[in-house]
Structure 1
């Protein structure tokens, strides 16, 4: 149901690309300055309905819907990107099914308009552009497709449960390789080992991160050279919960969690890692995404030798924090209902925990899992690391230990500010969450308070 009111929103999209021809050859210097722009603006989003608005005349809802249908027409978006880049090799075609689902949900449910609508379309065009360039690189450099992705170390668990800090910590091992934010923002041409530390894309991505409002950086650690999570790879396959984090897309999220064939997304995931690895080799990959809880079968079908670290934290601490983050992000594109957000997030992540538990209870790949606990990590992070390395018969070198110690010292909790929220705002309480997640808490002996 459309409200008929136009929400005047200045869309903040931290890294936006301007289409330009593919750069060749690989060794040539590339000017990235006109591929990026920052447009977060100076003000914060109108979280939980505190938004600038103006009243429109009757029938405005239909006008908004018609405009969204035009701007987010998948064929139009694809044609525009193909014309702008001169490229048309999309790799496997299954991305179109997901793109159609995403655009239909955004048109019918998200109430996008004005700058928010333009920004959502720009995000899709950026992702389409990156996908085209990646497959153009794959055709130009045959060595990309020959890369082997061996025994990736994958962190998963509830969002806000310590996955980000553990991912960043494990990535400090010199033997490991992770995908830095700048590499995900602008992956083409493939990064090279000899200049990966001073690639010009780092400075541009850093400027983009610094333009992000402090309130968001207090919620989620970001940095151009910090490891990026796999949700952002999956966006280029248009199968990612990141879309639903920034706009109200209930039918898309239902499709993604319940019905989507994730094999094409994991195929793209492998292609993306091969792309990054071809000229900047990896001993092994360190990866992270909470949504792996939803897709254990697809994960092991893609990477049968994966080593999976599952983090655990009291859901009563996790769920309100996650609901607050989602509501904040959706404040850029609409007026989020905090009670609906709380209920939605509890449902999504109960599904993930139940699905992963059923998979593990079957005994599948049982030797390839380890459980870690947030309370243990807070008290002894390097002890948790040692346990992971022991589990998977990995060597924790002195160089790795020193790098991890430096990382911990430079990434203390609250470094970018405090994330304040009230569980009650989202209709949540410790008692109800402990009841909702009781089976999970009991199965994994989760410490609660």
Structure 2
């Protein structure tokens, strides 16, 4: 069993301080621990995994407090007009994100930074010990989940999702990836997302300050996570000058692949994973996310959204990038184009193992998915 008190104590273990300045996170942490203890049916490995992950998140929170106390200028970092990629998972968001991140005028959060936002010591500018730790963690994940390499590219030093920064507020969708906890996931919608987005802003300030110390002079953040589909209003309240790129692909192509990924992530941590229950949970969750974003867009037609079709990104990447850059007010020069082309050349999907799955093993079929996502399909999918 996981213990909130034990986790809180472990979170302070690496800090000279004896308490947390901000304790607003304790209530959502308590709810998450309760769900993991009662709903997730964790096995021994699952308890150990979540114990370690939650403990690490708390240590990261405390480290941010300690670093900000030593360097109050962190809170003065200005985040200018971030470019935010959203869309259903499996719609090319990672491909788009990592392609654009080759542009040196932009900043993207890297995997090791979102997993461990605080440097381990003051020498991080010349010798960042987090990178070796992150590489070891990636290797361990791929060893425990051998099918993951075929589903999603994980690289310790590549751009990745800020969802792992939101995870530090204990109100993100990350725990639902590693445990089947649909009741907890539904209850998240009753919680105010303001605290988690305010903390995301604070963490991006911290990462931006670190990047400046390392000589990175990128002007704008390039962010990406499907999580923002659920909370568009909070996204714009936190980043009022953001521009959003929403990617689209038919849910019948997306949902079986995503269900396979979620089951691959959760399987090592329970002895009783029901694939169909897991799949149904995520189908409902992404229905809700798409509906939330569409509702916001209907109420705010002036909101800066650019819609991109997955197939266009594959067939006509140059045209898509030109459209995106014009929309975001960026200059796409020849040097940047060449950097993007080199990245695509050396990171083709064919270089990774094939991803094998069937819709039937997750209880999914096209007729039902077409009905469930009918409003979205009618509005955004070119059939």
TM-score, normalised via structure 1 length: 0.79
Match of 1:260 among 183, 191, 208: 191
Match of 1:363 in 2: 300
1:192–1:280: 8 Å Cα contact kept in structure 2? no
Match of 2:286 in 1: 349
Determine the C-alpha separation between the residues in 1 that align with 2:288 and 2:121: 37
**Corresponding residue SS for 1:447:** coil
Alpha-carbon distance in structure 1 between the residues aligned to 2:359 and 2:160: 28
The two structures, once aligned, show a CA RMSD in angstroms of: 2.0
1:275, 1:370 → 2: CA distance? Answer: 28
Cα deviations across residues 14-36 of structure 1 (Å, max 9, x unaligned)?
xxxxxxxxxxxxxxxxxxxxxxx
| Aligned residue in 1 for 2:174 | 242
| Alpha carbons 1:180, 1:224 under 8 Å: kept | yes
Q: Return the alpha-carbon distance in structure 2 between the equivalents of residues 267 and 139 of structure 1.
A: 18
Determine if the alignment matches structure 1 residue 447 to structure 2 residue 377.
no
Q: 1:373 and 1:283, CA in 2 relative to 1: closer, same or farther beyond 3 A?
A: same
Q: What secondary structure does 1:156 align onto?
A: strand
Is residue 2:140 matched to residue 1:203? no
Aligned to 1:323: 259
Residue 87 of structure 1 is matched in structure 2 by 17
Output the CA distance in 2 between the equivalents of 1:346 and 1:191.
Answer: 42
Corresponding residue SS for 1:408: helix
Distance in 1, Cα, partners of 2:11 & 2:123: 30
User: 1:94: how far off?
Assistant: 1.8
Choose the corresponding residue for 2:241, options 300, 305, 310: 305
Q: Among 289, 314, 320, which residue is 1:384 paired with?
A: 320
Deviates more, 1:212-221 or 1:225-234: 212-221
Q: In 2 relative to 1, CA 192–305 (structure 1 residues): closer, same or farther, beyond 3 Å?
A: farther
Distance 1:204 1:114 in 2: 23
CA deviation after TM superposition for structure 1 residue 76, in Å: 2.1
Task: Report the equivalent of 1:417.
Answer: 353
State the 1:440 CA deviation: 0.6
Structure-1 residue corresponding to 2:34: 104
Q: Tell me the CA shift for residue 118 of structure 1.
A: 1.9
> CA 1:307–1:190 in 2, change beyond 3 Å: closer, same or farther?
farther
Give 1:398 deviation, angstroms.
Answer: 2.1
Distance in structure 2 (CA, Å) of the matches to 1:274 and 1:190:
18
Structure 2 SS opposite 1:203: helix
- CA distance in structure 2 between the aligned counterparts of 1:399 and 1:260, rounded to whole angstroms: 45
SS in structure 2 of the partner of residue 115 of structure 1: helix
Shift of 1:202: 2.4
Q: How far off its partner does 1:91 sit?
A: 4.7
Number of residue pairs the alignment of both structures matches: 374
- The answer to whether the Cα contact below 8 Å between 1:152 and 1:287 also exists between their aligned partners in 2 is yes
The superposition leaves residues 92-118 of structure 1 with CA deviations (integer Å, 9 ceiling, x where unpaired) of: 322112101100111111122423212
1:146 paired with 2:76, answer yes
Q: Is the 8 A contact 2:13 2:59 kept in 1?
A: no
Larger radius of gyration: 1
Cα deviation 1:385-439 (Å, max 9, x = unaligned): 1111111221112222121111111211142211110001111122221221111
SS at match of 1:226: coil
Task: Give the match's secondary structure for 1:419.
Answer: coil
- Corresponding position: 1:224 with 2:161: no
Partners of 2:83 and 2:328 within 8 A in 1: no
Match of 1:233 among 165, 178, 183: 165
CA deviation digits over 1:61-106, x for unaligned, max 9? xxxxxxx1xxx22122102322453334545322112101100111
Aligned partners of 1:321 and 1:245: how far apart in 2?
Answer: 14
Residue pair 1:193, 1:279 contacting (<8 A) in 2 also: no
Does the CA-based 8 Å contact 1:191-1:280 persist in structure 2?
Answer: no
| Separation in structure 1 between the aligned mates of residue 123 and residue 193 of structure 2, nearest angstrom | 31
Measured at CA, do residues 84 and 210 of structure 1 come closer, stay the same or move farther in structure 2, by a change above 3 Å?
A: closer
Shift of 1:313: 0.3
Name the structure 1 match of 2:215.
Answer: none
Judge conservation of contact 1:190–1:275 (CA < 8 Å) in 2. no
- CA distance in structure 2 between the partners assigned to 1:318 and 1:349 by the alignment: 11
| Greater displacement, 304-313 / 88-97 | 88-97
Q: 1:279 to 1:427 in 2, by over 3 A?
A: closer
Counterpart pick for 1:129 among 59, 69, 78: 59
Residues 251, 431 of structure 1: alpha-carbon distance in 2 compared, 3 angstrom cutoff: closer
Shift of 1:324: 0.8
Q: Is the 8 A contact 1:183 1:191 kept in 2?
A: no
